[in-house]
Structure 1
Amino acid sequence: MNATVEVICYKSKVLNNGNHPLMLRVTKDRKTKYISLGISIPSKEWDFTKNQPKPNCSNKEHIEKIILTKKTQYNSKIIEFTANKKEYTPQILVDAVENTLAPKTIEELYCSHIKTLIKTQKIGNSQVYSYSLRSLRKFTAGKLNIPCSAITLDWLKSYEKWLQEKSCQGNTISQLFRTLRRIYNLAIEQGYASKEAYPFDKFKVSKFNTPTAKRAIEKEEMLKIMVADLSDRDFYTRFSRDIFVFSYLGAGINFTDIALLKHSDIKKERIYYTRKKTGKIINFKLSELALEIIRRYASPFYGDDDYIFPILNKTEHTTPLQIDNRIHKVIGHVNSKLKKLGKEFGIDNLTTYVARHTYATVLKRSGVNIAIISESLGHSALSTTQIYLDSFENDQIDEAMQNLL
């Protein structure tokens, strides 16, 4: 429902000169906002039925001009909001017309959004925007206190050229422009930028997207890694192999979700967890080997709220930032050990991600319905994969996973 705008004579308020102030009344969804027009009128000169000056009003033409100008401004903004399908309240409409919102620079918009992400415990996303902010600061030589209107098509092309000169890869450039575009869209939503000046209609970010190379290994290679005798190796090498195998046997569960697993997530030899990246609830049956790996790292005195694997410590890693930093540090060590182990088996760049992709590929080659395992596990359409997985019964997933060994 669109807002209604009308001018009223505020009869209940009497000024020192005996006049009554004229107020603009904005109403929408049973909410009302009054704005003073800065003029007043004697009650005898105002037609309270038609809400307009009477013919004998001493300043009739002047008052009518002010009313017409103000109502035109508000109705134009209502049309703009409606055309852009933007939800608004009377207060938002007033702020947009009266420019009561202080203008924000690109740098301020970034910093504000990063703070919001950290506050909502989206640490990974906050780091993506922080990286984008640092890149823009370097590009502008620290002069990022510019309004959104400064981000033009030519400005974007200059930034693109600068990134290419810095030898940035396509996916990196794509991420940087996608974060900048999101900040610009937020600015429009919050009234700090105009949709009419939006530069991303002509500057297509999708042109930078490049397919990520497939990194699955053969099933035979996976089995060799699983049965390799590493009893004489250091702890981190054995641990890295176990995490790699657990990911493969655990429906491609990624490292962050493995790190966050707690003993309370195990129910009747099944793992139930909420995927951090998508918020989707996933569960899978634990094979005997997966259970063996869990037992290997379980403390004799563990409780339900203890982490399954020795990656996080519930007393040392309590904040989202501490957790994220710890996971980032450990996965670096794990991937380093996996790469060394992979070279022994003639496999280049063996990482935790390879286990996730191999899970999907092995099941696909085994004839399993692609709707169940979908190649998008870990790829751009991950949310679609989760929707498909959620729609199948557990026994179908369990039967499919018998092909892993």
Structure 2
Amino acid sequence: MATVKVVLRKKANKDGLFPLALRITKDRKTSFIHLGHNLREDEWNAAVQRVKSSHPNSKRLNNFILKKKAEASDKSIEAETQNDDVSVKAIKRKVKPVTGATFVPQAQLYLDRLREAGNFNVYATEKCRLKIFKDFAGGHDIAFSDITVGLLEKFRRYLKAERKIRDRTVMNYLILVRAVFNQAIKEGVLDKKYYPFGGDDKINIKLPESSKIGVSLEDVVKLETVVLSNPTHDHARNLWLISFYFAGMRISDVLRLRWSDFQNERLHYTMGKNNKVGSLKVPEKAQLILKKYEPLKAAPDDLVFPNLKGLDFKNTFEIKRKIAYAVNRCNKVLQEYITPIAQIQGKLTTHLARHTFATLAGDKVPLQMLQKLYRHSDVRTTIGYQSAFTYKDPDEALEAVIGST
């Protein structure tokens, strides 16, 4: 249980006066909050925590002290009620939130934590979005209290009208600003009264529905059969097809595949995004592609594809940075070179391999089976990929789709 006392600090200021402060103590750790008043030592009664009557404003100061001590005690109890293990510093932040806190330092802390967690893709995207918001706000730091509903509405209009950003991405910008607000409140550096999100007359974030349409069956066949003499083009095609052949495996997981993941003509791998483990039969078409890379195999546990070879996999941030680079390069090759050569209609990216599998599943694969193949935790995510999908076995479901191409 924390205790709150009013004390006179031991170190005098340049005028020889001693600062009056709240002292919060818990688990033998203390923290001080200065009250903005200074006294001579002989004007303070430490035993009863009161200003002596010899001081000309003793009555007013004592009323002020009682009020501040009561407020601090209430906030301390509130903090400990919410969390028994709350620290003395956290109690101090609860007692005296920094209402004048600014956005940019908290935004940088948010980015630093993403980087420390190794989330390169999110880090890179959010860093760009925060720069755009900062530039919109005048190119300098801004107080949280100045980020009002009105300012955010102007920011929303700016993104749509000036930067031609789609509604869903606009919502992602607002979600980012909200995340920084939430962090600041959780850290105790911002009062909730400045929160501009949720409720009446505030910013309400609702993501619009997005269509997830894959490549047509005809275009998949074109991709499979087009002659590509350039090794870089062929490699990009192989990565896309491996993703498709393994039920829309995420490209980040494709790049991490090791030869040791393949045993008895089956693929056993752990999904990088959610650490879910699964097993799939290796389709014949996938086997033909894998054989192309066998000459590069240096060890039983070697990576199948060369993009990440030689990297330190303990450095999560660097691995994700290299994956992002490889994916961007692959997408550029797919869109700028392979699409025109193969005469494929529309967009072709690595992520579309995932949506293509769902699209071609049609009525061949029931919703729950597709959820199992995709390893979605929430079936609603799967519904977003395929809204109208009778196979009891994942291998049969996979063959039903791959065999149709």
Normalized against structure 2, the TM-score is what?
0.75
When residues 322 and 89 of structure 1 are mapped into structure 2, their CA distance, relative to the original with a 3 A threshold, is: closer
Give the Cα–Cα distance (whole angstroms) in 1 for the partners of residues 123 and 243 of structure 2.
26
Q: 1:361 aligns with which of 350, 359, 362?
A: 359
Task: Report the alpha carbon displacement of residue 126 of structure 1 after superposing the two structures with TM.
Answer: 1.0
Shift of 1:356: 0.6
Taking a change above 3 Å as real, the CA distance of residues 280 and 360 of structure 1, as seen in their structure-2 partners, is: same
Q: What amino acid maps onto 2:120 in structure 1?
A: I
The Cα offsets for residues 192-243 of structure 1, whole Å up to 9 and x where unpaired, read as 2111121012443534x333333223445434533x152x522123222222
1:397 equivalent in alignment to 2:394: yes
- 1:275 correspondence with 2:274: no
SS at match of 2:95: helix
Equivalent residue, structure 2, for 1:206: 205
The offset of 1:314, in angstroms, is: 1.6
For the 8 Å contact 1:360–1:375, the answer to whether it is kept is no
Question: Alignment partner of 1:273: what SS?
Answer: strand
Q: Is 2:144 aligned against 1:148? A: yes
- For residue 107 of structure 1, the aligned residue among 104, 108, 131 is 104
Q: Which amino acid aligns with 1:334?
A: C
Task: Describe the SS at the equivalent of 1:326.
Answer: helix
Which residue is equivalent to 2:132? Answer: 135
Work out the number of aligned pairs and report it: 370
Matched, 1:287 2:283: yes
Aligned match of 1:88: 86
Q: CA deviation at 1:259?
A: 1.3
Q: Please give the per-residue CA displacement for 1:326-347, whole angstroms capped at 9, x wherever unaligned.
A: 3334333433443354453543
Residue 265 of structure 1 is aligned with which of 258, 261, 274?
261
Which residues in structure 2 correspond to 1:2-401 (within 5 Å)?
5=3, 7=5, 26-27=25-26, 33=30, 65=63, 68-78=66-76, 81=79, 88-98=86-96, 104-143=101-140, 145-166=141-162, 167-201=164-198, 202-207=201-206, 209-219=207-217, 221-226=219-224, 228=225, 230=227, 233-315=229-311, 319-320=315-316, 322-339=318-335, 340-343=337-340, 344-366=342-364, 368-374=365-371, 383-385=377-379, 396-401=393-398
Distance 1:149 1:83, change over 3 A: farther
Q: Aligned letter for 2:283?
A: S
Quote how far apart the aligned CAs of 1:323 are: 3.5
In structure 2, the residue corresponding to 1:199 is in which secondary structure? coil
More displaced 10-residue stretch of structure 1: 210-219 or 193-202:
210-219
Distance 1:186 1:22, change over 3 A: closer
Identity %: 21
Counterpart Cα distance in 2 of 1:292 and 1:250: 14
Q: 1:310 to 1:6 in 2, by over 3 A?
A: closer
What secondary structure, in the 3-state scheme, does the structure 2 residue paired with 1:306 have?
Answer: coil
More displaced, 117-126 or 282-291? 282-291
Distance, in Å, in 1 between the alignment partners of 2:347 and 2:367 is 26
SS at match of 2:205: helix
User: What letter matches 1:120 in structure 2?
Assistant: A
- Tell me how far apart the structure 2 counterparts of residues 67 and 204 of structure 1 sit (CA, whole Å): 39
Q: Distance in 1 between the 2:299 and 2:380 partners? A: 30
Q: CA deviation at 1:269?
A: 3.4
CA distance in 2, matches of 1:36, 1:139: 36
Distance in 1, matches of 2:285 and 2:338, equals: 20
Q: Secondary structure of the residue that 1:271 maps to in structure 2?
A: strand
Distance, in Å, in 2 between the alignment partners of 1:334 and 1:307 is 18
Looking at structure 1, the residues matched to 73 and 277 of structure 2 have their Cα atoms a distance apart, in angstroms, of 46
Rounded to whole Å, the distance in 2 between the matches of 1:157 and 1:234 is: 49
Q: Give a deviation string over 1:108-167, Cα, whole Å, max 9, x none.
A: 111222122112211111112211121023212312x12211111111112122222212
Structure 2 residue identity aligned to 1:206: I
Aligned residues: CA RMSD: 4.2
Question: 2: CA distance between counterparts of 1:23 and 1:79?
Answer: 15
CA shift, 1:376, in A, is 11
Deviations 1:22-66 (A, max 9, x none): 985555xx676475999999xx995xxxxx689xx9999789746
Aligned partners of 1:204 and 1:377: how far apart in 2?
34
Instruction: Point out where structure 2 has 5 or more consecutive residues left out of the alignment.
Output: 11-19, 383-391
Deviation at 1:385, TM superposition (A): 4.9
Q: Distance in 1 between matches of 2:135 and 2:22?
A: 49
2:13 maps to none
